[in-house]
Amino acid sequence: AAENGLAAWLRYAPLQGGEGYHSTLPSHIVALNTSSASPVYVAGQELQQGIQSIYGKQCNVHHSYYSASSSVVVGTLDEYTKAYGSLSTTPDLIEDGYWLSTEGNTVQILGKNERGALYGTFAYLSMLAQGNLTKVAYSSNPNAPVRWTNEWDNLDGSIERGFAGNSNWFANGVIVSNLTRTAEYARLLASIGINAVVVNNVNANASLLTPQNIEGLGRIADVMRPYGVQVGISLYFSSPTSGVKGQANLTTFDPLDESVVAWWTNVTGQIYQQVPDMAGYLVKANSEGQPGPLTYNRTLAQGANLFAKALQPHGGIVMFRAFVYNNLNESDWYADRANAQIQFFKPLDGEFDSNVIIQIKYGPIDFQVREPASPLFANIPKSNAAIELQVTQEYLGQQCHLVYLAPLWKTILDFDLRVDNESSLVRNVVSGQRFNHSLGGYAGVVNVGTNDTWIGSHMAMSNLYAYGRLAWDPTLDSQYILQEWIRLTFNADQSVVNTMTQISMESWPAYENYSGNLGEQTLTDILYTHFGPNPQTQDNTVWGQWTRADHTTIGMDRTVSNGTGFAGNYPPEIAAMYENIATTPDNLLLWFHHVNYTHLLHSGETVIQDFYDQHYAGAATAQTFATMWESLKGKIDDERYYDQLFRQVYQAGHSLVWRDAISNFYNNISGIPDAAHRVGKHPYR
């Protein structure tokens, strides 16, 4: 029964009445590559398996030119042209792009490269699995070249902020011998256009670089390569002084020291011996206790370029994280963690090598339920940029709450930063289009584990699916993506699609309402778990996720005129909008302004009453999820039905805990009663 979860959206479930379509489906598969390790070969097998499983039709697979009127031909455009001659019009393809035509007698699936051919194959199979046999002919190109996942796996097998068991690839300090699950994961990722996986935690461990582990990385790369998925790794900045077994041990990790440069050049060479197509390095430096170049008074750019130069001859790239900040003191009214990225990175724009990409979390703080787009996207036009999204729900219910994240991500991707008063959508910044860069893209923190659902819950896999689909095409609609995923993962029954759509689309607004609305951020435990309500931990800590709530007022003043100045990090049109309380949207009010609890919102309600009302409304919505889910009994398999029902019942209960904890906390601190007389009542009083 584990197959249900492991196959995720690639189940190829039999379609009712599938036999009826046999004459319109291909009878032969031509996959134009003879090597079983090639993505085109894999595409051929995938087509055979999919058509057999969905429609019950058996096809033969050929690996060179084969003439049959009823066939599907998959390969690179070049190989196809050699075998079959040119197409009447040559499709306009970039790396990883594909051409798919089901018009005429032969289905053509042609990639710019092998990986593109596999992507086109999955696009075709997605249509077939949804019972869609309409005639199409189109080319599809990725929005950005970098479409990676980051996995925060530790070498001991644990996973930081992972909620689905242990690592699939590390245990006891080394890479495991059985990598079956790794191959299965690569297959899933390929089907949504992901082209690399950074396999270890950003809080990295130097012992990843032992010769034994480098050999292990080679094995991981070998099982993922047939799916067009490359390996990347996170580096520990001070590895040269960490006594890595089998490597030289230095007395310095200064990025400008010649011995350090030689060390990294050497180790990088060793890695490329084992992994000739290694994607690159991910680096978290001088952040949250991680070592970095600042120790030696070198800039972050000098630190990033150290790796860029080592990787450059091999074609690898450095994803250098912008998540750098120092601990601050709340008693300083002008202190603001949100300003840190701008302070660190803006002055360095233009100093990063061309194979460095600055990887920027979507908001200026840390994966909160609502944040404004990071202003860094507008402030480093000379640097390549990527957006970091979090698929694992660290602050957002940790897979115990259903929260469909695509609508949240879209608020950032579609946000117009108005650089130079011109359209500057975040998605056009990270695609490279806005500032003319050829590198850029997406990093999604996924943290899959050994759990049979991969990520911790069946429904949470919609977030991984949506992540891949948006990295390929960020203009896709959240609900459209969701429904595609529902039909593939469960079935196309209209009531199944409608019910799951309603629950999912209402889930992020509901979670925002019962956790922390008005731009207050997720009022969760900041100190350790990041789970469950704990509003008192926000303030009086060094973490800088402050609310500055006292008896009469609440919110962070981030204005230029009177606060931390953060609003001024945006280009003028956006800065003006956030500077002024009248033009700041209600959902970010407390992110930018410090106001009285009795301040009137645009909605006409007071801040405190809206707090109460939205927490009650959010929790009330979460109650309906469980009931709606119950209507699916018998319409999907029992295994997944009961598994998710358990979670929906939990979410219903926990949303009440959230509602009461937050409402009571602000009721106590403000002393302002709830106009509807719900808050502050004790059942035994």
**Could you list the residues that contact ligand GCU (CB under 6 A)?**
160-161, 202-203, 284, 323, 366, 394
Helix (H, G, I), strand (E, B) or coil at 652: helix
C-alpha 268/C-alpha 278 separation (Å) is: 10
Is 114 considered catalytic here? no
Q: Which is nearer to ligand GCU, 324 or 652 (CB)?
A: 324
CA distances for 540 relative to 536, 546, 550, angstroms:
9, 8, 12
Query: Which helix (H) or strand (E) element contains residue 500?
Result: helix 494-515
- 69 vs 529, which CB is nearer to ligand GCU? 529
Cβ neighbors of 97 (< 8 A, separation 6 or more) are: 111, 112, 116, 139, 140, 141, 142
Nearer to ligand GCU, 181 or 321 (CB): 321
Residue 224 CB, shortest distance to ligand GCU, in Å, is: 23
Give the whole-angstrom CA distance, residue 361 versus residue 442: 10
CB distance 317 to 233 below 8 Å: no
Task: State the chain's maximal CA–CA distance in angstroms.
Answer: 84
Nearer to ligand GCU, 26 or 363 (CB): 363
Burial class (CB in 10 A: 0-12, 13-18, 19+), 587: middle
Q: Residue 562 is encoded by which pair of tokens? A: 């009177």
User: Minimal distance in Å, beta carbon 336 to ligand GCU?
Assistant: 17
For residue 230, the minimal CB distance to ligand GCU (Å) is 22
| 442 SS3 class | strand
Catalytic residue (one of 3, 92, 103, 288): 288
The strand pair at 280-283 and 230-235 is best described as parallel
Verify whether residue 351 is a known catalytic residue.
Answer: no
Is 162 or 432 the residue whose CB approaches ligand GCU more closely?
162
**What is the nearest approach in angstroms of ligand GCU to the Cβ of residue 303?**
16
* Residue number with CB closer to ligand GCU (188 or 460): 460
Two tokens at 189?
């990722």
Residue 177 is classified by DSSP as S
Rounded CA Rg of the chain: 26
28 closest CA partner among 73, 75, 74, 71:
71
Helices (H) and strands (E) in the chain, counts: 19, 18
Tell me the C-alpha distance between 366 and 581, whole Å. 24
CB of 232 to ligand GCU, least distance (A): 16
Kind of pairing between the strands at 356-361 and 317-321: parallel
Quick check: 439 and 355 in contact, CB under 8 A? yes
Three-class DSSP category at 57 = coil
E strand or H helix that includes residue 220: helix 211-224
CB of 242 to ligand GCU, least distance (A): 19
From 114, 366, 484, 506, active-site residue: 366
Question: Residue 267: CB partners within 8 Å, gap ≥ 6?
Answer: 209, 239, 247, 310
- Residues 428, 371 contacting (CB under 8 angstroms): no
**Which residue in the list 153, 184, 388, 394 is annotated as catalytic?**
394
Residues 6+ apart with CB under 8 A from 550: 669
Q: Is position 630 annotated as part of the catalytic site?
A: no
- CB-nearer residue toward ligand GCU: 395 or 490: 395
The smaller minimum CB distance to ligand GCU, of residues 203 and 450, is found at: 203
Tokens of 619: 């929790």
CA distance 674 to 391: 36
Closer residue to ligand GCU in complex, CB, 290/489: 290
Residue among 46 and 394 whose Cβ is closer to ligand GCU: 394
Judged by CB, which is closer to ligand GCU: 128, or 324? 324
Which of these, 434, 431, 463, lies nearest to 447 by C-alpha position? 463
Cα–Cα distance list, 595 to 352, 546, 557 (Å): 41, 14, 8
Phi and psi, residue 142, nearest 5°? -70, 150
Q: How far is the CB of 366 from ligand GCU (least distance, A)?
A: 5
Which residue type, as a one-letter code, is found at position 551?
H
Q: In the structure encoding, which two tokens stand for residue 11, read together?
A: 């189940």
- Rounding to the nearest 10 degrees, give the CA dihedral for residues 13, 17, 21, 22: 80
The number of beta carbons lying within 10 Å of the beta carbon of residue 219 is 18
Supply angle C-alpha 489, 468, 118, rounded to 5.
85
Residue 194 or 365: the one with the smaller Cβ distance to ligand GCU is 365
At closest approach, how far in Å is the CB of 297 from ligand GCU? 23
- b (16+ CB within 10 A) / e for 624-661: ebbebbeebeeebeeebbebbbebbeebbebbbebbbb
203 or 252: CB nearest ligand GCU: 203
Q: Answer whether 361's CB lies under 8 Å from 374's CB.
A: yes
Q: What positions carry a catalytic annotation?
A: 288, 366, 394
